Structure 1
Amino acid sequence: MKKLISVFLILLFFLSLQGCYKNTENNFSKSQKITLKMWHIWAQRSQDNNSIIIGDIINQWNKNNPNVQIEVESVENEKYKTKLKTAFATNELPDIFYSWGGNFSKPLIDSGKVLAINEYLDNSVMDELNEGMLSNVTYYDKIYGLPLTFSVGTFYINTQLFEEANIKIPDNYDEFLDVVKAFRQKGITPLLVGEQDKWTGTLYYDILALRDGGIEGCKSALSGNDKSNIYLNAANRLKELIDIEAFDESNIRAMRDESEVFFKQGKVAMYFTGNWLTGEIQAETSLIKDKIMVKTFPIMTDGKGNNNEFLGGAVDYLMVSTNSPYKDEAVQAIKFICKNLSKNYYEFGSGLPAWKYDYDETNVNKLSKELRKMTENGKYLLYWDIYLGEEKGNKHKELVYKLFQKKISSEEFAEEMKKLEE
């Protein structure tokens, strides 16, 4: 009997020790310092305002949370896609990473390596977001990221060049073609594109398709049902712009950053790109400050598109790896970063707010405010390279590039696009 009591006491002793160790471990995990590794696309350059803004926000997080530090690595847009793809293949994702929504991220979600964050969010988060901001990052009824900002394809007009050339700003597509020809005759570059980055040219193609077929027509075509010949019509319109020399040959051969300098110097009349440029345009050091207006891309009288349809939407997200040992901390960090970046990017002029903005707008970039008003009733179609996903999106970019290089006919382009859904 005494032997049984001794064994029982020994078991109790070891069980109590195990409990002590467990409690000690839990207490230590709450007080230990951890590092969250984060990747994003805003290259850390001193002259890059977007990089400065996100850097300041992360520094603020690190200051507020001395035990949970964020360590950043950033890579430029296209190189980042390769880096991200490699990390998924080798299972080397950081705790937090940037990704695009829609079909671009779907294969990543299907891999099981991205954390569904529903259970880590309280109801207040949903109340803080603008309507529809999670639609491009919700898969199988689960949320896999939080939005950073809201992107809109934006048509920039250099009003000073129009005034000096005595040319009327176009209100429809026919007038737009006349304007292109008028500026070319005066020796002024009508439109800008840095096509060596390839996605820059797709913006022109995609907006031409949107104006021709409208959102529903484009979605139908992208789903393999191009009954209205949207692919062909948009290719013909882009080919016409190329043939009448809407773009300089030099900036067709240049990267976006190289060619964009000419617009920033006030040497190009019009530019269709994203609203991420408005901050640089209105910066105090900008040569074109207060000389640029934003406008909806011209409507086609024979097209199905309208002024309330835009390229873009919520496409920029932060996600968390399922392999992160600090999931709760990582989700709290992306909420802090996303909400603050949404506000600061809107104020500076790098994007429209994805989160509800209820602050004094005195310091908001005037072009951002104009865009917000212009798009308040807008409907959106994702940029096609994001809508299609990486593989098909890359094929789309290559085909548009061939149009710019005059190495493919409009008919060949349309046939190749149709093959994407076969």
Structure 2
Amino acid sequence: MESRLSSRRSFLALAALTPLAAWTVTACGTAGPGTAPAGGATFWSLTGEPNESIRKKSLDAFNAANPDSKIVATVFQNDAYKTKIKTAIGAGQAPTIIYGWGGGTLKTYAQAGQVEDLTGWFDANPDVKAKLFPSSFGAATVDGKIYAVPTQTVAPIVFYYNKELFAKANAQPPKTWDELMALTKTFNDMGVAPLSLGGQSRWTSMMWLEYLLDRIGGPEVFQAIFDGKAKAWSDPAVLETCAKIQELVSANGFIKGFSSITADSNADQALLFTGKAAMMLHGAWTYGGMKHDGGTFVKDGKLGWFDFPAVSGGKGDPLNTVGNPAQYLSISAKASDAEKDAAKKFFKDGLLTTDEITAYISSGAVPIVQGIEDKLASSEDKDFLKYVYTLSKNAPSLQQSWDQALSPTAAEALLSNIDQLFLKSITPAQFAENMNATLGK
């Protein structure tokens, strides 16, 4: 994971797959799907370090070992890729291997018959599936069938805290929602913001709803939303989640002016490591940002982390987590049999090799591979990486970030309504009504 990650979007942009001799970079997305060599396949992915270099080395190694099944890659900048791949798939001109984030977009492709059903392939290669975190497959699955191979790294949402401020307050990390609410008064009385939040970015606020809804209602509530069940957003657990968020806002839980603070500038992280805020709910990728930008804050052991608090009477397993379970590779249904075979060979022999796993860990990330405890233990960031690994590996449910799980249309409506909810310009009931209107879109 790169040290200067300004947002979850840039983190995902780093999740790049890029190969071989024909390494083509385009920012505008003018390239076509490329021409696969005989017996080989094409691959589109993203620019961005360090993952771009890691993937290129892996693909160079695969192509050298498999000269009859070479993978030719073209890489794009994030936004250009999202536009280009959608157009290419719709026109039947997709590359063999399609990079993506699973969830709602993958569901659209799968239901339109545009990507290959890989369920049978996984059944025939149980060792591939057994190697990966079980929690990584949820965002790859549509109607009980697997349409993508999970790959690269996991990035759960983590509750961070400033140990120095907690020591001054003689406080412990909260284990329950009631304890968290009590801490809002503790830190406000000290003249310290209880919680940092880059609310202008909106998706940072979404993290709070994701975790709270899971703790209150369990993963089944959002699954009903994902499935488009009528009035699914009106579930009592959703209404309770929204009400608790507004109670936290009313208690001055978040730093004053949170709606004008951006995550893209890392301003929310700075509030934590400069001691202006005591806690922050954010992605695992921000660890690297704070390590890079926070002086000796991380090195001196002043950064701590804990599990999201339980909610009294809640149905969700306290081991559940939310975030980005992995990145995902699919195969175009329009590809030739030879191209599909080459892609599957790459999926089996070229992804998450020993060298690639080592490279991801060295970059400060946690690969979605089971049984790597010894490798993590040798990292200078071993405490944090082992926490992320255990949190992700053992999670009964790892809920994909909602704006990736939902369709682009529903995701934009979600972010807009979350913004209004945090500003208390709409009620929980209005939030639910507005979001019910997006179901099935």
TM above 0.5, yes or no, is yes
Task: Kindly indicate whether residue 77 of structure 2 is the aligned counterpart of residue 62 of structure 1.
Answer: no
- Which of 246, 251, 268 is equivalent to 1:244? 251
> Shift in Å at residue 317 of structure 1?
0.9
Partner of residue 136, structure 1:
139
Partner deviation per Cα, 1:5-57 (whole Å, 9 max, x = no partner): xxxxxxxxxxxxxxxxxxxxxxxx998697734213xx52xxxxxx2144223
Spell out the pairing of 1:140-179 with structure 2 (5 A cutoff). Answer: 142-148=145-151, 149-179=153-183
Match of 2:50 in 1: 52
Q: For the residues of structure 2 that align with 1:221 and 1:321, how far apart are their CA atoms?
A: 27
Once residues 219 and 120 of structure 1 are traced to their aligned partners in structure 2, the CA distance between those partners, rounded to angstroms, is 25
CA contact (8 A) 1:171 1:299 kept: yes
Deviations 1:152-187 (A, max 9, x none): 222112212212344433222122122223323333
> Given residue 373 of structure 1, which amino acid in structure 2 is its aligned partner?
T
Q: What's the counterpart of residue 194 of structure 1? A: 198
Q: Does 1:125 align with 2:128?
A: yes
1:71 is aligned to 2:80: no
Q: Which moved more, 1:390-399 or 1:380-389?
A: 380-389
Q: Which residue number corresponds to residue 24 of structure 1?
A: none
In 2: Cα distance, 1:90 partner to 1:130 partner: 34
Superposed counterparts of 1:4-403, under 5 Å:
36-40=42-46, 43-44=47-48, 51-66=49-64, 68=70, 70-76=72-78, 81-117=82-118, 123=125, 124-131=127-134, 133-139=136-142, 142-148=145-151, 149-219=153-223, 223=229, 224-225=231-232, 229-258=236-265, 259-263=267-271, 265-267=273-275, 268-281=277-290, 287-289=296-298, 290-312=301-323, 314-324=325-335, 326-335=339-348, 338-340=351-353, 344-345=359-360, 348-351=363-366, 353-357=368-372, 359-364=374-379, 365-374=382-391, 377-380=394-397, 381-403=399-421
- For residue 307 of structure 1, report the CA deviation from its aligned partner: 1.8
Partners of 2:225 and 2:148 in 1: CA distance = 28
Task: Note the C-alpha offset of 1:400.
Answer: 0.4
Q: Relative to 1, partners in 2 of residues 1:322 and 1:71: Cα closer, same or farther, differing over 3 Å? A: same
Following superposition, the deviation at residue 204 of structure 1 comes to: 0.8
Q: For 1:256, what is the secondary structure of its paired residue?
A: coil
Distance 1:131 1:74, change over 3 A: same
TM-score by length of 1: 0.76
Q: Find the aligned partners of 2:219 and 2:306 in 1 and give their Cα distance.
A: 19
Once superposed, what is the RMSD of the aligned Cα atoms?
3.6
Counterpart CA distance in 2 for 1:335 and 1:197 is 38
Q: Which moved more, 1:62-71 or 1:193-202?
A: 62-71
**Residues 171-229 of structure 1, C-alpha deviations (whole Å, 9 max, x = no match):** 22122122223323333332233233322211111212222223334545664456752
Q: Distance in 2 between matches of 1:102 and 1:109?
A: 10
Identity %: 23
Contact map agreement 2:297 2:303 (CA 8 A) in 1: yes
SS in 1 for 2:308: coil
Q: Give deviations 1:130-154, integer Å, cap 9, x for gaps.
A: 4354343234665322112334222
Q: CA deviation at 1:283?
A: 6.3
Stretches of structure 2 that go unaligned for 5 or more consecutive residues are 1-34
1:376-416 C-alpha deviation (Å, 9 max, x unpaired): 54321333333433332332222102223443222211222
Q: Tell me if the contact between 1:157 and 1:293 (Cα under 8 Å) persists in the aligned partners.
A: yes
Distance 1:411 1:128, change over 3 A: closer
Asked whether the 8 Å contact 2:104–2:405 carries over to 1, the reply is yes
The 8 Å contact of residues 102 and 140 in structure 2, kept in 1 or not, is answered as yes
Instruction: Report the secondary structure of 2:218's partner residue.
Output: helix
Task: Write the distance in 2 (CA, Å) between the matches of 1:139 and 1:221.
Answer: 14
The alignment partner of 1:157 has SS state of: strand
1-structure distance, mates of 2:426, 2:36: 61
Q: CA deviation at 1:58?
A: 1.7
User: Against the structure 1 CA distance between its residues 271 and 93, is the aligned structure 2 distance closer, same or farther, given a 3 Å change threshold?
Assistant: farther
Q: Quote the offset at 1:366 in angstroms.
A: 1.6
Alpha-carbon distance in 2 for matches of 1:140, 1:237? 32
- Distance (whole Å) between structure 2 residues aligned to residue 264 and residue 53 of structure 1: 27
Deviations 1:61-81 (CA, angstroms, capped at 9, x unpaired): 2255255354342434x7754
Instruction: Work out which of the two has the higher radius of gyration on C-alpha atoms and give 1 or 2.
Output: 1
Q: Deviations over 1:70-96 (max 9, x none)?
A: 4342434x7754454344334443333
Partner Cα separation in structure 2 for residue 140 and residue 298 of structure 1: 31
Structure with more helix by fraction: 1
TM-score by length of 2: 0.74
| Cα separation, 1, equivalents of 2:335 and 2:374 | 34
Deviation of residue 272 (structure 1)? 1.3
Partners of 2:58 and 2:232 in 1: CA distance: 49
